[in-house]
Chains A and B, each alone.
Chain A
Amino acid sequence: MEKFIKLTGVAAPMPLVNIDTDMIIPKQFLKTIKRSGLGINLFDEMRYDDNGDEIPDFVLNKPQYRDAQILVAGDNFGCGSSREHAPWALLDFGIRCVISTSFADIFYNNCFKNGILPIVLPQEEVDKLMDDAARGANAVLTVDLENQTISGPDGGTIGFEVDSFQKHCLLNGLDDIGQTLEKGAAIDAFEAQAAQARPWV
């Protein structure tokens, strides 16, 4: 997993609430057995018309947002299915950070596993960043994970919260499985005790 330390990039505004995982990556693209290559189909049904041509009004099709690395989104982003194809598609497009008032749990968790930082902020602050993002090519935000701050184009700085374990993993690009296997003895001990207590499992 690529480390996430500090990101400076264009932020794209997506104020729609309840952007679900079917919108992020429709099911016809879940038939892959790989993690890569999904960026071209990110937001497929909002981004392309029935002929496969780009819909010019869609935010990520506008010239100033084509290289966006940050999304500022409406409430409850990533609701719906557990498909990790959603963060894979975001990442493959180049999005490393999503900011919203709230995220669906499974999507939120999936982001961290892929080096994407999801940030939850109060409504007023998301509104402010949404305005910043609407400035197009000037909508450059800097997200500093180490110091847990977002700086906007006008120089203002907003702080954010992040789980200490998730932060540690992102800053260092750590693989969860490797870390858990280091606790193998605790798992062995638990398994032995559980086999006694609940032998039918």
Chain B
Amino acid sequence: MSPKTLYDKIWDAHLAHQAEDGTCLLYIDRHLVHEVTSPQAFEGLRMAGRTVRAPDKTIAVPDHNVPTTPGRNDPEQMPEDSRIQVAALDSNAREFGIHYYPVSDIRQGIVHIVGPEQGWTLPGMTVVCGDSHTATHGAFGALAHGIGTSEVEHVLATQTLIQRKGKNMKVEITGQLQPGVTAKDITLAVIGETGTAGGTGYVIEYCGEAIRSLSMEGRMTVCNMAIEGGARAGLIAPDETTFEYVKGRPHAPKGAQWEAALAWWKTLYSDDDAHWDKVVTIRGEDIAPVVTWGTSPEDVLPITGTVPSPEDYEGGKVDAVRRSLDYMGLKSGTPLSEIEIDTVFIGSCTNGRIEDLRAAAEILKGKKVKDGLRAMVVPGSGLVRAQAEEEGLADIFKEAGFEWRLAGCSMCLAMNPDQLSPGERCAATSNRNFEGRQGRGGRTHLLSPAMAAAAAVTGRLTDVRELM
């Protein structure tokens, strides 16, 4: 048998049909659904008189629109268009008989946090969702990627996806990380190296000692941003850390099925002599705590750097950098650590898990948020929130001056009322710094939870190592 990558193995195990022209039907094990990209798909099913083929493999949760303030179970808290969208998900979930976690359920949260937490996401699966950050689930050694609404409808109706196989890309992070450097810094540093289109057409497998040493939370952060590097999916081979995380979760296999699953999961790794179409290697020791300065996730620099100049670039990027600096209100040559901020946002499917909150709280313990600065923590799920309260993290955030919110996507994409005003500058643990992403005219700097906490204390982008 020819050697295979992990991606090859999962692909082969899910190939339901291959046409003569090479077009494939890939079988989908888990379909996650949220309120923004699904209403037109359900409507399409109804119009065509179709049903959901595998309701048991379909899981819905509202997250993008939902308010994160107390009393949100009252729909009157939402603007009318958001309320209609969430109500549509409620009724579609009921009508088609799919699993559902409404806002009133403590298990509700960001779809990419709920899936793993409930054990829906398992190694070797194919997982899709109408959301590009579905790549998150790749942390379990699952082939997981975002799809459009037409494809959501296709999966609902057929439980398959029309696909052509992507290429294999290996991203190896060797050695160990320095103190103050986290999974977020890894994933941003990789995008800084490869560019936002570097992974286009590829499925990335992250490997190497620094990746192996990460917790599941950290691995999810790394895979989450594969899409920001252009790759639809990023994955990490499952190991004891993975099995330990999965075991005992509500929808994880039990008993004899657990043993059978485990035996198969242990075969899910890339063979030594597997073929890679592209390889990127970065030394873990070389990665510093990083921030973004521009309006593309590839605009990454170590916090010790300075704002670049358009002349540092070539081709179309020259104009893009000029436009970015103008939008961001930054001057070339300014040290990044002198950039003052107005807002800190800790949360999102990138960094809204318990470990992220622990890392931020560790920095904040006994300190206060800088006067006049707005700071909020939005846990990724109701269960993350409850655990953080139990561990005393919520008290640390509140005492420091952070708002302690309910679970949702919140200010990552600002579809709910959590938004930046024009010109407002935010240190955010989310995944996109696009123009207008967090609110029209809002300026976003992406960074890790620990770096976000440090920025909250000093009121400017800050090297977290100074506060450790």
Contact = CB atoms under 8 A, between A and B. Distances in A.
B435 A15 contact: no
Interface of A: 15-18, 20, 22-23, 26-28, 30-35, 45, 50, 74-76, 79-84, 87, 102-106, 109-110, 113-114, 163-165, 176-177, 180-181, 183-184, 186-187, 190-191, 194, 197-201
Contact of A104 (B19, B79, B134, B230): B230
Nearest to A28: B415
B20 to A, nearest CB: 10
A17 B317 contact: yes
Nearest to B146: A82
Nearest to A35: B40
B156 to A, nearest CB: 9
Given A104-B230, A177-B154, A110 B148 contact: yes
B36 interface: yes
Q: How large is the interface on B (under 10, 10 to 19, 20 to 34, 35 or more residues)?
A: 35 or more
Interface string B137-175: 000000001111111011001111010101000000000
Contacts, number: 189
B432 A180 contact: no
B17 A181 contact: no
Contacts of B366: none
A27 B88 contact: no
B43 interface: yes
Given A22-B432, A45-B436, A198 B264 contact: yes
Interface of B: 13-17, 19, 21, 23, 25, 27, 29, 36-37, 39-40, 43, 48, 50, 57, 64-65, 79, 81-82, 84-85, 88, 122, 124-125, 130-132, 134, 145-151, 153-154, 157-160, 162, 164, 166, 196-197, 200-201, 227, 230, 232, 253, 257-258, 260-261, 264, 296, 315-317, 319-320, 323, 413-415, 422, 432, 434-437, 440
Contact of B414 (A27, A83, A190): A27
Contact of B132 (A30, A32, A45, A106): A106
Contacts of A109: 147-148, 151
B434 A80 contact: yes
A187 B257 contact: no
Contacts of B440: 26, 45, 50
Contact of A176 (B14, B131, B162, B437): B162
Contacts of B230: 76, 79, 104-105
